[in-house]
Structure 1
Amino acid sequence: MLSSEITELTGFALTLAERAAAEILPHFRANVPIDIKAAETWDPVTEGDRAGERVMRHLIEKHYPAHGIIGEEYGRRDGTSGLTWILDPVDGTRSFVIGLPTWATLIALYANGRPLLGVMCQPFVGDTFFGNPGGAWHRRGGEERQLRVTPGRNLADSMGGTTSPHLYKDEHAQAFDRLRGSMKSMRYGLDSYSFCLMASGHLDIAMDPVLQIYDIAALIPIMTGAGGIVTSWTDNDPSQGGNVIAAASQRLMDQALAAMQG
């Protein structure tokens, strides 16, 4: 794909994030009704989630009718172009419903099943992270800077982030405990922010278990565009979800995986 096409599609993805924000923000910290999805764990959804995805799907269908769509709230629509948008209007709805601004709108575009570009937007805070084959950037308050990981730390000096230790079950909990005990610090409650903070050079490791494709798709181009390494500790394809770990260097990733394996 030509760089001009990637630039055009990245701009469109950023427009999707802006339009979704206009639909979602009126529902944030408004004590809106909460619906619960059928799941093993508490999985809330609000009209903010649904409204954000509806406006994004409408714009995609209008401007790129041949593109496919995979959305958390309204499912899959196959396309004919080999390009598929993957949408999570409110990633971190558990944070959203208690007024915590670590939720984000995640927008990815896959080309023939592989990540091409991604946007993470937290409109209440004003953070937008985005990445494509040309790199990764952070935009805030009219300023934009290119992102680079900080690759030099060893595992013992590293700082990491994840959503919650309670999400790691059974042998994954044991592996997580081994890794956490080998690091300087592991912070919780970050949702998708941990992956973007790793790309920004503030964290060294970011990870979460049992992710869906729409939880991670947008974050991969941001991390890889900043020089990060993305894989899984259970050999699944991280671009499709599952158990995902990212690190600021291959050496640090090797150390982390070794620690998890004991």
Structure 2
Amino acid sequence: MDHARFAAFAGTLADAARAVTLGAADRVAENKNEDGTYDPVTAADREAERVIRALIERAWPDHGISGEEFPEKIGAGRFVWSLDPIDGTRAFICGLPSWTTLIALLDEGKPVVGLIDVPTLDERYLGFPGAPGLKASECRTLGDARLATTDVHIFSAAERERFDRLRTGARVTRYGLDAYAYARLAVGSIDLVAENSLKPHDYNALIPVVRAAGGVIGNWRGEDEYREGQVLAAATPELFEEAVRLLGA
């Protein structure tokens, strides 16, 4: 397949999403959940996904589409687009710059093209086999690592205890970056990211970006399987393996 062609199209989708999200005057959020937990969504989330979907349906009518805000469209072939129009909606509604747009193309269920767009900072990270411009650090030990996670308060008690093994061993830990942490790992300024409670639209775009940079991404057991929502990304295999040992039950 022509990865570069699809990556260029993903950039077109991100441009269209920026036209919606950067100009959004109304950042009031409503809660999608009815169980008391908070999962915010804004009008910009929904409108950006509508715009992206329309472009995909026009250019690739046989492709499937799986987005955060609307029901899945079943395609006629092997390709499915995974969309998260605003990842980090909490940052978005607070006027912080770290929210992103996540776009991925899956081939037979495997993410092969990933895009992390950071509209407020005018940064874009494109990952696919042979993608240029990305390079993870050479950090091999936890003691030298710059660690990130979005919010430790969504960890279960057991997960928090396991994450603390990383935190206490790392050189520095930063919080609140959402998908932007993986983008920074792909250019060498973050070395390790450990998160939980992620859904497919949260992690599909991250996988090709991290791997194109030479990094390693999997779950907390070191597997290439994410159904439990636990994601671990590291700059090097050595650092990944050390983190897996510490996150082990």
TM-score by length of 1: 0.90
Partner in structure 2 of residue 233 of structure 1: 220
Compute the displacement of 1:239 (Å): 5.4
Partner in structure 2 of residue 64 of structure 1: 60
Within the alignment, does 1:111 sit opposite 2:107 as a pair? Answer: yes
Moved more, 67-76 or 161-170: 161-170
> CA 1:235–1:225 in 2, change beyond 3 Å: closer, same or farther?
closer
Contact map agreement 1:70 1:86 (CA 8 A) in 2: yes
Q: How does 1:5-154 map to 2 (within 5 A)?
A: 5-27=2-24, 30-38=25-33, 39-135=35-131, 137=132, 146-154=133-141
Contact map agreement 1:114 1:239 (CA 8 A) in 2: no
Contact map agreement 2:215 2:236 (CA 8 A) in 1: yes
Moved more, 62-71 or 249-258: 249-258
Distance 1:220 1:166 in 2: 24
Distance 1:239 1:60 in 2: 26
Within the alignment, does 1:258 sit opposite 2:245 as a pair? Answer: yes
Q: Where is the strand percentage greater, Structure 1 or Structure 2?
A: 1
CA RMSD of superposed structures (Å): 1.6
Distance 1:165 1:229 in 2: 22
Distance 1:219 1:241 in 2: 16
User: What SS is found at the alignment partner of 2:72?
Assistant: strand
Unaligned runs of 5+ residues in structure 1 are 138-145
Distance 2:209 2:36 in 1: 30
Unaligned runs of 5+ residues in structure 2 are none
Distance 2:28 2:172 in 1: 36
Compute the displacement of 1:169 (Å): 1.0
> CA 1:246–1:126 in 2, change beyond 3 Å: closer, same or farther?
same
Distance 1:73 1:152 in 2: 37
> Number of paired residues?
248
1:8 maps to a residue whose letter is R
